[in-house]
Chains A and B, each alone.
Chain A
């Protein structure tokens, strides 16, 4: 692991009028590390994720990102063009509902190829080769390259969304409940795939989930949120095996023992 963080969040706050979305948030993400943000519904997880991925304006605080050239600017200081360029090259965003992250009415191949075309790839054969390669990596049969995602099952859609995000070799992926809408066996397969890809590609991941099992499986570090604030953060195993904050203890205790 590198000695410099790839993403650094300091005193982040997001208000909806008088209401607090999230406040007083500070944490770092290092390259190649998976950080899970857990908490119950309405605890500000998704607000936080949207703020640090530049999808939502923040009310206060800084979010600095390490660019490929080593600069470490605050995302708010980048122009919109630069931010959007980052979002489609260096970053990925995996939505809970694949329909939000995919173009449902264009073929799987074009879904994967879109980012390549956005960064200037103009050779059909190359785009198709890369798309085929990525479909295979996420275990979608190459024969389905010309099918539209509407014809795919939920698990396939989610895997397609992952392929679409990874095709430009991003360094940082944001995930919002990536396994939220899937049944348990499909969930396991997607998690397995994610774990493999993250390890292979050395990705930094910020993953939002309410499922502690997902956090345990994927993440090295964990941030527990409640009512818009961080109540506890630390190594995943430590937080789950030795929770210190009463809320975390409640959360861990509420997992049904198998």
Chain B
């Protein structure tokens, strides 16, 4: 907060008002045409491409002084990308930040959606590396634009066909293509396909920003988002045999964590906020040491 006053050279939320106005107009257009990639004049940001320059610009454009910001990187609130973007906005906008999904009004994310269901009034901002779902099948952007315009989406099924031909099932696990409102095929950003169903008719507003590719697209609340598949190979999300080793949660997306160099490993929630919340509620996984050991470790520290 105080740092913001010490840096008067920056406008609120870093970007100048004209730029924010431009981005907001683009966001409005993107919301009006769900799933359509709207080009915008992406700015240089004080971070490298690939670190969320698109997401940061969208967040800066929609951020108000009373917003509460949460930033997720691979589900975690304490990884480099999340910490630095959170600190960035705390500094240049002076907004309150949180790690609690339920308290946040704006959630900028990379690679995950929170396990806690999103609510009306919340805005999710995705960082998108490659917004074009047809990119690796048709490298010409002029051609993919025509294909989107004419709704020629046979090609996207070629990719799924290849998966089944090679692996016996649809092996795409992230950036799994979806069809929005029965019209545009959209890349949901590199979230695991586990999170695809959460986008379907979500009450939250979902915005996607790609800084290097200079595209913004959006899903207004309660938009139909259907994952593409074949009749005889229907869409399925990943399932996990284990429960979270820390909070015993099932039916959530788990990360495998190597614990020692003797092959020891455990599966824990990738959503750190969800995991912590469950532990404070008293859920305990099998990977947690017993209370006495835990206390002992606290003493040791």
Contacts and interface: CB of A to CB of B under 8 A. Distances in A.
Interface string B232-248: 11000000000000000
Interface stretch (B45-53, B150-158, B188-196): B150-158
Main secondary structure of the interface of B (DSSP, over half): helix
A103 B137 CA distance: 9
A117 B161 contact: yes
B153 to A, nearest CB: 8
A146 B162 CA distance: 8
B230 A122 contact: yes
A119 B155 CA distance: 11
B219 to A, nearest CB: 23
A116 B161 CA distance: 12
Interface string B68-86: 0000000000000000000
Given A113-B158, A114-B155, A124-B161, A146 B166 contact: yes
A119 B150 CA distance: 13
B103 to A, nearest CB: 43
Interface stretch (A104-112, A178-186, A210-218, A226-234): A104-112
Contacts of B231: 122-124
Contacts, number: 55
A137 B120 CA distance: 57
A123 B232 contact: yes
A29 to B, nearest CB: 27
Contacts of B161: 109-110, 113, 117, 124, 127
Contact of A118 (B137, B155, B164, B230): B155
A118 B152 contact: yes
Given A80-B150, A84-B152, A146-B165, A114 B233 contact: no
24 contacts: A80-B146, A84-B146, A88-B154, A106-B137, A106-B158, A107-B162, A107-B166, A110-B158, A113-B161, A114-B154, A115-B154, A116-B154, A117-B154, A117-B155, A117-B157, A117-B161, A122-B231, A123-B231, A124-B232, A124-B233, A125-B232, A145-B165, A146-B165, A146-B166
Given A109-B165, A122-B157, 4 more contacts: A84-B150, A107-B165, A118-B154, A119-B154
Interface of A: 80-81, 84, 88, 103, 106-107, 109-110, 113-119, 122-125, 127-128, 145-146
